[in-house]
Homo-oligomer: A and B are copies of this chain.
Amino acid sequence: MTDPARGTTQRNGTTSPRYGNRPTMKDVAARAGVSLKTVSRVVNSEPGVTPDTERRVQEAITALGFRRNDSARILRKGRTASVGLVLEDLADPFYGPLSRAVEEVARDHGALLINGSSAEDPAREKELVLALCARRVDGLVVIPAGDDHRYLEPEISAGVATVFVDRRAGRIDCDAVLSDSFGGARDAVAHLIAHGHRRIGFIGDQPRIHTAIERLRGYRAAMSAAGLPVNEAWMSLGATEPSRVLAATEAMLSGPEPVTALFAGNNRVTVTAVRVLAARPGRAALVGFDDFELADLLSPGVTVVAQDAAQLGRTAANMLFRRLEGAEEEPRQVVLPTRLIARGSGEIPPAHNVAS
C-alpha cells in the first residue's frame, strides 16, 4: 500500500471508484470511455466536445456522484477564490453586518469567505492570519487586535492583498478603511457640552486599540475647544467587559468631582453604561459610539455616533478586489464619516443629575 489517504484500498468493482472515497475525473473517464482531459473539458464547459461525448460523460458524472475536487483545482490554478476575514468576535453585533457585507462582495466575485475571530488577542490574530496565508487565500480583510503587523510584510509582498478595517495597521503601510473616530468622538462630546455639561467622562477600549486612542483624542479636542479642563479620573481605557465598565462608570459618577455625562467608546460599553444608569437614581446624560438595535426604544432613547459597519465591510472588500484585479496604487486609507443621532440621552441637562 503506497497510498496514504485511503483507509482501505479495496475496490468494490472493476474500474469503479475506490471504496469510501470520492470518484475522480479518472473514474469518470474510465466509465465514460473517454480520456481524463475530456472529462475536464465537460466539467468546465470548455468548447470542443461533441454533444454525444458530453452526454456520455455527464451520465458517468451523475452515476458516480462525481464532484470536482477544488483543492486540486486550486493547486493547479494558483488562485483559491477565497478571502479571509479576521475580526474580533463574530458574536459582536457590530461585526455580523460587517462580515456579511464582505461576504456579499466576495460572492459577487465568485469567492468564498473564511473567517476567524481573534478574541482581541494579538497572538491569535497572527496565528489566524498566517493560517489563512498558508491556505493561500487570495486576499485578507483584517480587523486587527494587535498593533504590530510587520509579520505580514512577507505575505503582502508575496502577493496577498490585504485591507485593514476599523483600525489602522501597525508599523506597516497598508490599505485601510476606517471610521472617523476622532471626529465622531469630538461631535459626541461637543453635543454633551452644548447641552450644558462641563464634567464629562469617557470610557473606552484598551489603549492598544487604535480607535480607542482616536476617540480619546476626539474627547480631549472637544473639551479643549470648549475651554473645559479634563480630569484624569474622567478617562478610563481598558477591557470592555461589563464588570470593568461598571466599576469605571460608578467611580466616575460618584468621585469627588462626579461627571454629569458619559461618552461611551463603543457599543458594548454603551450597553453596560445604559444598564448602570438605569439602575441608579438621578439621570446622567450619555452618548455612545456605535449605533445599536433598539437604542431608539429605550427611555430615554440613546444618542449615538453611528458608523455604518456594513459600509466599512463593503468598502474594504471592494478595495481588496480592486487590488486583486491588478490595481497597483499606493496603499490608501479611506475614512468614512460618522453621524450623530440624537435621541434624548445626550440632551439631559446637568441640573437634573447633580444635587448641587
Q: Write the residues of chain A forming the contact surface with B, with a CB cutoff of 8 angstroms.
A: 4-6, 20-22, 65, 67-72, 74-78, 80, 82, 89-93, 95-97, 99-100, 103, 107, 112-117, 130-136, 154-155, 157-159, 271, 274-275, 278, 292-294, 297-299, 310
Contacts and interface: CB of A to CB of B under 8 A. Distances in A.
A271 B294 contact: yes
A92 B82 contact: no
B76 A4 contact: yes
A130 to B, nearest CB: 7
A71 B136 contact: yes
A71 B80 contact: yes
Number of copies: 2
Contacts of A275: 297
Contact of A155 (B67, B92, B157): B67
B136 A69 contact: yes
A-B complex: 10 closest residue pairs judged by Cβ atoms: A5-B78, A65-B154, A91-B100, A91-B97, A70-B134, A96-B96, A90-B100, A91-B96, A71-B75, A70-B135
Contacts of A65: 154-155, 157-158
Contact of A131 (B95, B99, B112, B155): B112
B82 A90 contact: no
Given A75-B72, A113-B114, A271-B293, A91 B310 contact: yes
Contact of A93 (B67, B71, B96, B299): B96
A74 B4 CA distance: 12
A290 B159 CA distance: 44
